[in-house]
Amino acid sequence: MIFASGVAVAEPDGGNSRYDRWARTSGTVLAGWYNSQTGLYDTTNWWNAANALNAEIDLSRQQRLDVGARHAAITYERNIAGGFFNHYYDDEGWWALAWINAYDLTKDKRYLATARSVFGDMTTGWDDVCGGGIWWNKERTYKNAIPNELFISVAARLAARTKGAASKEYLEWARKGWTWFANSGMINSAGLINDGLDDSCANNGRPTWTYNQGVILGALTDLAVLTRDPELLRTAHRIANAAITTIVYPNGILREPCEPTVCGADGPQFKGVFMRNLSYLNERSPRPQYADFIRLNAKSIWEHNRNAANQIGLVWTGPFDSADAARQSSAQDALNAAAAL
């Protein structure tokens, strides 16, 4: 079991310097959508904004930029009155992860306190329907993968950043969440995660969205570090390998099931979430196929899915279709991942 970062091998065509350059250039474009009056990103929605901020924080950490800390502070001040709560537990999970990441970057304790507060609200979504797990929304209409993956991930990260009884409680929630999830039936026979459960608490067979294969990688990586349970990493690797060999175009580029035309406002965000979490797994338990996959996708994004203004579209094989903050921040996650190798 490996919990150390791998050593990147220099490439003959520019190595990581080009990925650094691409990540910085894309980051400049993404920052152009940031609205300092709202603390959010024009052209995209509430939950997407948490992911866009996460991408900027990661870029700032890697490239020693100040944009992540600046935008985190503005976003916090503009939106803290609402506590980063809403009617969707998955939205809350995205913001909790963003504030944990902001805390890691800045050590501002307000951010960690906010993540803890948000997670406290997420726990109110847990009940015994289908044997456990949290609901997608507060109307309790659907039990599905993404809020529960986020629940495990947030709990594990909070356990690692707190002490004493609080840390133990977060770890228990993470373990409880994973035990339920692993036995829920949402992980199918191909090793991929379907969208959720039907009214009979069985796998509903809905699409294997890329972000559902991604968030769980980060969650299991953190839980493995906390528990030293090697089976958790083995499970993460099974899911990761299933995803990078199955949810792809023939040339190996990551493909969202909704592509190329019907992904709406949410779907363009998904692939970046996968790449961010694949990178997170690879940093702690590296595999050469992950590095190859990350570089392949970053190269395709930059060479085939970018316009003259360095805006990035939906389909990473190209051609460029249109620009918005969801598309850009999703690609930013992939470019950050390549720069991190």
What pLDDT score does 16 carry?
80
229-261 pLDDT per residue, tens: 999 999 999 999 999 999 999 999 999 999 998
Task: List helix spans (H) across 206-307.
Answer: 210-227, 230-246, 267-284, 288-304
Full-model pTM: 0.95
The CA radius of gyration of the chain, in Å to the nearest whole number, is 19
How confident is the model over 96-105, as a mean pLDDT?
99
Q: Residues 118, 84: contact at Cβ < 8 Å? A: yes
Q: Residues 169, 119: contact at Cβ < 8 Å? A: no
Q: Residues 257, 318: contact at Cβ < 8 Å? A: no
Is residue 2 predicted with pLDDT exceeding 50?
Answer: no
Structural domains for the chain? 24-339 (1.50.10.20)
Q: Residues 74, 39: contact at Cβ < 8 Å? A: yes
What pLDDT score does 34 carry?
99
How confident is the model over 139-147, as a mean pLDDT?
99
171-195 pLDDT per residue, tens: 999 999 999 999 999 999 999 999 9
What pLDDT score does 65 carry?
98
What pLDDT score does 311 carry?
99
What pLDDT score does 15 carry?
57
Q: What is the mean pLDDT of the chain?
A: 96
What is the DSSP annotation of 187-220?
A: B-TTS-B-SBB-TTSSB------HHHHHHHHHHH
How confident is the model over 32-37, as a mean pLDDT?
99
C-alpha distance from residue 70 to each of 32, 100, 123, 190, 319 (Å): 14, 15, 30, 42, 33
